[in-house]
């Protein structure tokens, strides 16, 4: 059977593919294979959020207790997760985007603190709370160089900090908040560059990703999501869509007039990198405005997966999940790279759980569409994604007229649409275990009513044009979320755990046969990776919208999570909103949250007092884990 990639195997393949001295950040690619550290926001370049550590395992996780905690001093939504490099933990906050360096050996003693001075006027142009999804780490690129921590601030300033002292090494402005451009996504360091996206789709921002040189912050390349081919870094003959060249002016031909200039397609999610293919992967967000009648056409390349050459930014392939979006189903969710079996064929896959409720499996080298299936049975806005390459509908979702907000018309309330605008999953990242070959997915089980209306564009002002209300999926378990295990080769749910509220926390899978996630009420939960049985839960100081991570120090494994209610689901609590339609409909949908949690901003670090390696059969050391990587079993 086909061997799946573990974190350690990935690190080994990275070094082979790069060659000696080929990258200024060869050290980072080596470090990601060291399970004692957590050196990237998503754990590794493949976004698998999997750790080979197994000293906390399904046999002893029931004995887990808090080891230490840390208050961030900020009372808004805490998305993302800390990094651990050596004995130092780097913790970030929402606006004002404070960065702390904590001593992981000494219960989080503060080594240094960086607090940027930002204009608070950026807060009103942040769509869905003042969140930030984390910092990136870049090792020194040669003798005399400095290890860096990269922060993308709310005001779009990109700052490189000396990892040892917190002093600023360089800064560069990535966007213009006066136009509604903001920064919320975690950067990704690759080779000798750092990738930065942009937020602001609800303000008519034109999306882009930008690669900056780590040496001095100078711009290496920028690729827009919409517009002329040269500005999108598209080659009409060699950029492919489902096996065919996109052709000239593929974006311009899908917009009316110059609407592409305020067309959205922002890039505030997660980024992946395959060094062997030298490709970067990410998704683009909603087209602006939310009123589909105002922007005829497919609105390319919003709602799309992009695969780009890491050196030049040129697009190799692209795939649009939701042409002419009518529901705000942003395509920014993470791309998870995994070598899995698809239909009996070993495949270099890209797996993406889209806001629109479909889970996609593609060949990450060619962009071939292999699987597109609903990962929540409540999804009703489309019947299917056409998989016949000979059909003129190939790759397109088949929209149900009853749930089409455009066919319903302006100033008409289209009801019962599933999922709601926040999607079957938003940015909260899933995890993949090469031991089980399953993907562990935090989901929203939420539907909506959606009434579009005509809106005029004014720079720096909301450009939404829709009123929403949200509620639990009807005729179901009554809750607003599920945590599921997914077989991406078959497109099937293996098991599903109902939750009272959406699961807005990123998952973590480990070699100890445990999967971790957090809940909006504030519980950190540990479950059996095979069966979904709950093994442990602990209620943290505030609701969890952060992502679980793990590391090792002095031979002991720890699990860390940020809690602090907020984000889109918790915007009512975070911003003190009470109008049910506020927060783009989320305030009313999640009003009951106030009975279970309150504002906070805290890091909680857990451990098991008496740890032994798991009996699972996979060694805890990265090198041994590489040698023992299991074959695909489904």
Catalytic status, residue 328: yes
Q: Confirm whether residue 133 is marked as ligand binding.
A: yes
Q: Confirm whether residue 475 is marked as ligand binding.
A: no
Largest CA-CA distance found in the chain, in angstroms, rounded:
66
Q: Is 462 exposed, middle or buried, given 0-12, 13-18 or 19+ CB atoms closer than 10 A?
A: middle
Q: Are 291 and 455 in contact (CB under 8 A)?
A: yes
Q: Is 29 helix (H, G, I), strand (E, B) or coil?
A: helix
Q: Confirm whether residue 286 is marked as ligand binding.
A: yes
Structure-block tokens of residue 175: 């966007």
Burial annotation 283-294 (CB, 10 A radius, 16+ → b, else e):
bbbbbbbbbbbb
Closest CA to 352 of 362, 360, 343, 364: 360
Catalytic residue among 298, 325, 328, 449: 328
Integer Cα distance of 484 and 477 in angstroms: 14
Q: Confirm whether residue 396 is marked as ligand binding.
A: no
Integer Cα distance of 591 and 480 in angstroms: 12
Establish how many alpha carbons lie within 13 A of residue 301's alpha carbon, considering only the half-sphere containing its beta carbon.
32
Per DSSP, 4 falls in state P
Q: Confirm whether residue 597 is marked as ligand binding.
A: no
Q: Confirm whether residue 79 is marked as ligand binding.
A: yes
Q: Are 211 and 313 in contact (CB under 8 A)?
A: yes
Q: Confirm whether residue 174 is marked as ligand binding.
A: no
Listing DSSP states for 152-221 in one string gives: E-TTSEEEEEETTT--EEEEEE---GGGT-B--SPPEEETTEEEE--B-GGGT-B-EEEEEETTT--EEE
Binding region: 79, 133, 184, 202, 266, 286, 328
Residues involved in catalysis: 328
Binding region for pyrroloquinoline quinone: 79, 133, 184, 266
Binding region for Ca(2+): 202, 286, 328
């Amino acid at each position: 059977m086909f061997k799946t990639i573990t974190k350690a195997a990935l690190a080994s393949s990275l070094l082979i593919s790069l060659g000696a001295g080929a990258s200024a950040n060869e050290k980072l690619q080596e470090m990601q294979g060291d399970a004692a550290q957590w050196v990237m926001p998503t754990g590794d370049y493949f976004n698998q959020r999997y750790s080979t550590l197994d000293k906390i395992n399904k046999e002893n996780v029931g004995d887990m207790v808090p080891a230490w905690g840390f208050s961030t001093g900020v009372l808004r939504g805490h998305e993302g997760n800390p990094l651990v490099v050596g004995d130092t933990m780097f913790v970030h906050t929402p606006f004002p985007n404070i960065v702390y360096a904590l001593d992981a050996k000494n219960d989080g003693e503060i080594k240094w603190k960086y607090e940027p001075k930002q204009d608070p006027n950026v807060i009103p142009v942040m769509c869905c709370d003042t969140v930030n999804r984390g910092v990136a780490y870049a090792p020194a690129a040669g003798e005399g160089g400095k290890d860096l921590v990269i922060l993308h601030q709310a005001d779009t300033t990109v700052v490189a900090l000396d990892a040892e002292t917190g002093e600023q090494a360089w800064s560069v402005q990535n966007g213009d908040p006066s136009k509604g451009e903001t920064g919320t996504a975690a950067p990704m360091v690759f080779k000798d560059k750092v990738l930065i996206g942009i937020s602001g789709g609800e303000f008519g921002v034109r999306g882009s990703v930008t690669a900056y040189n780590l040496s001095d912050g100078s711009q290496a390349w920028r690729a827009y999501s919409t517009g002329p081919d040269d500005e999108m870094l598209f080659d009409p003959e060699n950029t492919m869509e489902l096996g065919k060249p996109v052709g000239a002016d593929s974006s311009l031909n899908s917009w009316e007039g110059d609407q592409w200039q305020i067309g959205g397609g922002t890039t505030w999610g997660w980024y992946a990198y395959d060094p062997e293919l030298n490709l970067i992967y990410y998704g683009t967000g909603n087209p602006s405005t939310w009123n589909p009648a105002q922007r005829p056409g497919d609105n390319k390349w919003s709602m799309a997966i992009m695969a780009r050459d890491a050196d030049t930014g040129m697009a190799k392939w692209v795939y649009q999940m939701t042409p002419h979006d009518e529901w705000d189903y942003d395509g920014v969710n993470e791309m998870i790279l995994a070598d899995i079996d698809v239909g009996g064929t070993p495949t270099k896959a890209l797996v993406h759980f889209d806001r629109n409720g479909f889970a996609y499996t593609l060949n990450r080298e060619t962009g071939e569409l292999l699987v597109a299936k609903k990962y929540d049975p409540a999804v009703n806005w489309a019947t299917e994604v056409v998989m016949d390459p000979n059909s003129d509908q190939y790759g397109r979702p088949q929209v149900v007229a009853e749930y089409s907000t455009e066919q319903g018309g302006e100033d008409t309330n289209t009801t019962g649409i599933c999922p709601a605008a926040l999607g079957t999953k938003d940015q909260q990242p899933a995890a993949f275990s090469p031991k089980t070959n399953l993907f562990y997915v935090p989901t929203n089980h939420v539907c909506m009513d959606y009434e579009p209306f005509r809106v005029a564009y004014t720079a720096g002002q909301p450009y939404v044009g829709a009123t929403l209300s949200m509620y639990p999926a009807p005729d179901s378990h009554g809750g607003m979320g599920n945590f599921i295990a997914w077989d991406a080769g078959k497109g099937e749910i293996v098991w599903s755990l109902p939750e009272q509220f959406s699961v807005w926390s990123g998952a973590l899978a480990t070699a100890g046969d445990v999967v971790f996630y957090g809940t909006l009420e504030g519980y950190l939960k540990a479950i059996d990776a095979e069966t979904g049985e709950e093994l442990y839960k602990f209620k943290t100081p505030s609701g969890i919208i952060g992502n679980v991570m793990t590391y090792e120090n002095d031979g002991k494994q720890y699990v860390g999570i940020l809690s602090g209610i907020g984000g889109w689901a918790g915007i009512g609590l975070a911003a003190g909103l009470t109008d049910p339609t506020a927060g783009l409909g989320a305030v009313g949908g999640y009003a009951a949250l106030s009975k279970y949690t309150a504002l906070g901003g805290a890091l909680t670090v857990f451990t098991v007092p008496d740890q032994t390696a798991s009996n699972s059969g996979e060694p805890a050391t990265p090198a041994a884990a590489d040698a023992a990587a299991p074959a695909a079993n489904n």
